[in-house]
Amino acid sequence: MANKTIKIALLGAGYAGQSHAFGYRNAAMDPEVAGTKIILDTVIDGNEELARTVADKYGFENVATDYKKVLEERPDIDAFSIALPNRLYVKIVPEILAAGKAIFCEKPLGLDGKEAQTMVDAAQQAGTLNAVGFSFRRIPALAALHDLVKDGRLGDIHFFRAMYYADYAADPKQPRTWRYVAEQSGGGALADIGAHTLDTVRYIIDDVTEVSSALLETVIKERPMPAGGIGHSQKASETEVGEVTNDDNALLNLKLKNGAIGNVTLSRITKGTPNDLAIEVYGTKGHAKFSSLAMDQLIVYEEGQNEDGFDGPRVISAGPAMPYFEYTAAMPGRGVGTGYGEAFMAEIQEFVRALVKGEQVSNPFSEAIPTMKVIAAALESAETGKPVAVK
């Protein structure tokens, strides 16, 4: 592996793309990747100034504005890391796969399950490595919760609560970008932060079999139209407004394959709570709680662990015994802490490791489809007012 060289192109230089770049920049902290020469080759974005800024920030060698030109002129690039508006994936991803390139693609995989399946089929036909970015799976404390449930230490899980609250859309003066248009996004909070939350439920407990009910609410019903800039940094028009056609808040009641029931609450307008994904799981032998506001902690109660009167939940600090911690933490000891950036490092490490060793990843494109189906079922349930089976 010491002589292996891989070249990476980053397509999309917004916040998510920069998170990918951070991951590649630090991927060699994994000893199975160390020795591989990872060349951060090209940043591709329609905004050339932004592409240059990101290239300089993370050490990419080149910038471009047209991915087609890069495909034609740079056959030596091994992999594309893609973070684009949801509506663009179904056209661009199959084209890059057909050129024989490995792809790491940010979630959600397109606008709906049909588009996601199109990309899964394209990946199978191309026979190239593919991965979808569900970064929260790589947070050590959350991954440890997954292991607790899988190992049966909490017993049979029968109830859960999951939520994701954020305030990136709380300002009504934020421009009406593609994120606020149903036809361009596939959903509001439901598709954007809901994709992470629903994937977390699947990852920790089991697949969703029914959306028993769904309430979707648009609180900020119109926003200024965009007037320059890109992504979360777009500027707002002072004269033109447009209708918001997707949800700010969502409330879902769900049934899971293992028989558990629970709810998912989502909001992109929770002022004062900038970014918090949390989940609570309750089983026949105990319970556990995780919140990304305390990302390095896991609260666990296991029946019979202590004497009566001293048998409450305990707070566990993340450390090298938990998945992903040792090779992402700057100082890999308990109490030192890891954060959101390290989760991106861990998922990129797995992708690079698979690329170098010819292996598969734990999060191929096909892992996105069950979540996309739940989102579709929630949209249908919200419209009809009836339970919808997830098929």
pLDDT digits (tens, 9 = 90+) for 206-262: 999 999 999 999 999 999 999 876 655 678 888 899 999 999 999 999 999 999 999
On whether the CB atoms of residues 381 and 187 are closer than 8 A, the answer is no
Alpha carbon 48 to chain centroid, angstroms: 26
What is the helix (H) or strand (E) element at residue 59, kind and residue range? none
Q: Could you write out the DSSP letters of every residue in 72-131?
A: HH-TT--EEEE---GGGHHHHHHHHHHTT-EEEEESS-SSSHHHHHHHHHHHHHHT--EE
Strand partners, 215: 251
On whether the CB atoms of residues 45 and 138 are closer than 8 A, the answer is no
Among 245, 243, 244, 225, residue whose Cα is nearest residue 235: 225
CATH topology of domain 5-135: Rossmann fold (3.40.50)
Phi and psi at residue 313, to the nearest 5°: -60, 150
Strand partners, 43: 10, 63
Contacts of 268-273 with CB under 8 Å at 24 or more apart are 268/166, 268/167, 268/168, 268/169, 268/170, 268/188, 268/189, 268/192, 268/193, 269/167, 269/169, 269/170, 269/219, 269/220, 270/165, 270/166, 270/167, 270/170, 271/167, 271/170, 272/167, 273/165, 273/166, 273/167
pTM score: 0.94
- Mean of all residue pLDDT scores within the chain: 95
Instruction: Give dist(CA 303, CA 312) in Å, integer.
Output: 9
Strand partners, 223: 242
Q: Which residue has the tokens 């699947």?
A: 202
> Whats the size of the chain, residue-wise?
391
Q: What residue spans define the domains of the chain? A: 5-135, 136-343+370-384
Among 210, 191, 197, residue whose Cα is nearest residue 254: 210
Residues 6 or more apart in contact with residue 127 via CB below 8 angstroms = none
**What's the pLDDT tens digit per position in 146-159?**
999 999 999 999 99
**What's the pLDDT tens digit per position in 75-132?**
999 999 999 999 999 999 999 999 999 999 999 999 999 999 999 999 999 999 999 9
Question: What token pair was written down for 217?
Answer: 């609410």
Judged against a pLDDT cut of 70, whether residue 190 lies above it is answered with yes
Per-residue confidence (pLDDT) for residue 307, from 0 to 100: 81
Any idea what the Cα angle at residue 347 is, between residues 106 and 17, rounded to 5°? Answer: 40
Per-residue confidence (pLDDT) for residue 34, from 0 to 100: 87
Q: Which amino acid is at 184?
A: Q
| Ranges 7-11, 167-171, 177-181, 337-341: which has the least confidence | 337-341
Instruction: Give dist(CA 261, CA 254) in Å, integer.
Output: 6
**What's the pLDDT tens digit per position in 19-58?**
999 999 999 999 999 889 999 999 999 999 999 999 999 9
CATH of domain 136-343+370-384: 3.30.360.10
Give, in order, the Cα–Cα distances in Å from 88 to each of 68, 95, 109, 182, 184.
14, 12, 10, 14, 9
Q: What is the mean pLDDT of residues 275-295?
A: 97
On whether the CB atoms of residues 257 and 272 are closer than 8 A, the answer is no
Per-residue confidence (pLDDT) for residue 306, from 0 to 100: 78
Per-residue confidence (pLDDT) for residue 233, from 0 to 100: 65
